[in-house]
Structure 1
Amino acid sequence: MAYVLGIDIGGSRTTAAVARLWDNTWSPAEVTWLSPHSPTVPAVLHLGANGALTVGDPAEGGTQIDPGQIAREFVARVGDPVPLLVGGENCAAPTLAAGLVGWVIDQVTVREGAPPDRIVVSHPAGWGNYRRGLLHAALWEIGRGDVTLLPEAVTAAESHVAAGFTGRTLAVHTLREQGCTSSVVGRARTGGFTVLGTAGEGEAYGGPELDLDRALGDHVRVELGRQLGPRHLDDPQVRAALLDLPRECARARERLAVATDTDVRLHLPNGPIRVPVTRDLFTELVRPAVQLTVETLVETIRASGLPTDQLDGVLLVGDWARTPLVAELVEAHFPGLVTVAADPGSSAATGAAVAAGQILLPTHPAPRPPEHRPTGPHRDDTAPGRPGSTPAHPDPEWTHTGPTTGRPPGRDLVRADPSPEPPPRPPIRITPLKLPKPRVTGLRTTGRTEPSGTGRDLADQHPGRSSSRGHR
Structure 2
Amino acid sequence: MRYVLGIDIGSTNTAAAVARRNGATWTRPEPVGLSADSPLVPSVLYLSEDGSLRVGEPPTDDGSRTTRDFVRRIGDDVPLLLGGEACAPQTLAAELAGWVVDRVHALEGAPAEAIVLSHPAAWRPYRRDLLRRALTDLGLRHVTLLPRTVTVAESHAARGFAGTTAAVYALGGNSFEAALVRRTPRGTYEGFGTPQGLDPIGGADFDEALATHVRTVLARELAATARRGTQAALRGLRAECDRVKRELTVDLTADVVLSLPGGPARIPVTRAQFEDMIRPTVQATVDLLLRTVHGAGLTPTQLDAVLLAGGSARIPLVTELVGAALPVPVEVQPDSQLTAATGAAMAACQVVSPRRPAPVPGPAPVREQAGVTGPPRSSLPVPRRPHHDVPVPADPPPRPPVRILPLDLPKASRLALTRSRGREG
Length-normalised TM-score, structure 2: 0.85
Q: 1:49 to 1:399 in 2, by over 3 A?
A: farther
Rg larger in structure = 2
Root mean square deviation of aligned Cα: 2.3
Contact 2:185–2:357, Cα closer than 8 Å, also in 1: no
Q: Is 1:245 matched with 2:237? A: yes
Provide the C-alpha distance between the structure 2 equivalents of 1:344 and 1:313, rounded to a whole number of angstroms. Answer: 16
Q: Is 1:294 matched with 2:286? A: yes
Provide the C-alpha distance between the structure 2 equivalents of 1:136 and 1:223, rounded to a whole number of angstroms. Answer: 49
Query: Structure 1: any 5+ residue segments left out of the alignment?
Result: 367-393, 407-439, 450-472
What letter matches 1:3 in structure 2?
Answer: Y
Provide the C-alpha distance between the structure 1 equivalents of 2:417 and 2:340, rounded to a whole number of angstroms. Answer: 36
Residues 409-428 of structure 1 aligned to structure 2 (within 5 Å): none
Aligned to 1:457: none
Provide the C-alpha distance between the structure 2 equivalents of 1:235 and 1:397, rounded to a whole number of angstroms. Answer: 65
Q: 1:11 to 1:198 in 2, by over 3 A?
A: farther
Give 1:229 shift: 5.0
Contact 1:145–1:404, Cα closer than 8 Å, also in 2: no
Q: 1:365 to 1:166 in 2, by over 3 A?
A: closer
* Structure 2 residue matching 1:68: 3-state secondary structure: coil
Q: Is 1:153 matched with 2:149? A: yes
Residues 27-426 of structure 1 aligned to structure 2 (within 5 Å): 27-58=27-58, 63-200=59-196, 203-204=198-199, 211-226=205-220, 228=221, 230=223, 232=225, 235-364=227-356
* Structure 2 residue matching 1:328: 3-state secondary structure: helix
Aligned to 1:432: none
Provide the C-alpha distance between the structure 2 equivalents of 1:243 and 1:402, rounded to a whole number of angstroms. Answer: 49
Contact 1:193–1:399, Cα closer than 8 Å, also in 2: no
Per-residue CA distance 1:147-203 (angstroms, 9 max, x = gap): 1001111000001110011110011101111121111101123441111134435x4
Per-residue CA distance 1:419-458 (angstroms, 9 max, x = gap): xxxxxxxxxxxxxxxxxxxxx9623322325xxxxxxxxx
What letter matches 1:102 in structure 2?
Answer: G
Deviates more, 1:188-197 or 1:71-80: 188-197
Q: 1:82 to 1:6 in 2, by over 3 A?
A: same
Provide the C-alpha distance between the structure 1 equivalents of 2:94 and 2:393, rounded to a whole number of angstroms. Answer: 27
Q: Is 1:17 matched with 2:17? A: yes
Deviates more, 1:307-316 or 1:250-259: 307-316
Query: Structure 2: any 5+ residue segments left out of the alignment?
Result: 359-391, 405-415
What letter matches 2:67 in structure 1?
Answer: A
Q: 1:210 to 1:197 in 2, by over 3 A?
A: farther
Provide the C-alpha distance between the structure 1 equivalents of 2:110 and 2:403, rounded to a whole number of angstroms. Answer: 19
Contact 2:87–2:417, Cα closer than 8 Å, also in 1: no
> Identical aligned pairs, as a percentage?
46
Provide the C-alpha distance between the structure 1 equivalents of 2:153 and 2:205, rounded to a whole number of angstroms. Answer: 25
Per-residue CA distance 1:7-31 (angstroms, 9 max, x = gap): 0012311000000011111000010
* Structure 1 residue matching 2:4: 3-state secondary structure: strand
Contact 2:222–2:230, Cα closer than 8 Å, also in 1: no
* Structure 2 residue matching 1:39: 3-state secondary structure: coil
Give 1:403 shift: 7.6
Q: 1:46 to 1:239 in 2, by over 3 A?
A: same
Provide the C-alpha distance between the structure 2 equivalents of 1:352 and 1:162, rounded to a whole number of angstroms. Answer: 11
Q: 1:77 to 1:342 in 2, by over 3 A?
A: same
Per-residue CA distance 1:80-122 (angstroms, 9 max, x = gap): 1111100011010000000000000000000000011000001
Provide the C-alpha distance between the structure 2 equivalents of 1:140 and 1:274, rounded to a whole number of angstroms. Answer: 51
What letter matches 1:56 in structure 2?
Answer: G
Per-residue CA distance 1:213-267 (angstroms, 9 max, x = gap): 11111101101104x15353x7122113312111111100000001111111112
Q: 1:128 to 1:208 in 2, by over 3 A?
A: farther
Q: 1:302 to 1:397 in 2, by over 3 A?
A: farther
Contact 1:156–1:351, Cα closer than 8 Å, also in 2: yes
Per-residue CA distance 1:44-72 (angstroms, 9 max, x = gap): 001011000100102xxxx3212000011
* Structure 2 residue matching 1:189: 3-state secondary structure: coil
Greater relative CO, 1 or 2 (CA 8 Å, sep 6+): 1
Give 1:211 shift: 1.3
Provide the C-alpha distance between the structure 1 equivalents of 2:204 and 2:293, rounded to a whole number of angstroms. Answer: 20
Contact 1:150–1:401, Cα closer than 8 Å, also in 2: no
Contact 2:303–2:328, Cα closer than 8 Å, also in 1: no
Provide the C-alpha distance between the structure 1 equivalents of 2:119 and 2:261, rounded to a whole number of angstroms. Answer: 42
What letter matches 1:224 in structure 2?
Answer: L
Residues 420-439 of structure 1 aligned to structure 2 (within 5 Å): none
Provide the C-alpha distance between the structure 2 equivalents of 1:339 and 1:39, rounded to a whole number of angstroms. Answer: 22
* Structure 1 residue matching 2:71: 3-state secondary structure: coil
Length-normalised TM-score, structure 1: 0.76
Aligned to 1:456: none
* Structure 1 residue matching 2:336: 3-state secondary structure: coil
Q: Is 1:3 matched with 2:3? A: yes
What letter matches 1:204 in structure 2?
Answer: D
Aligned to 1:382: none
Q: 1:239 to 1:142 in 2, by over 3 A?
A: same
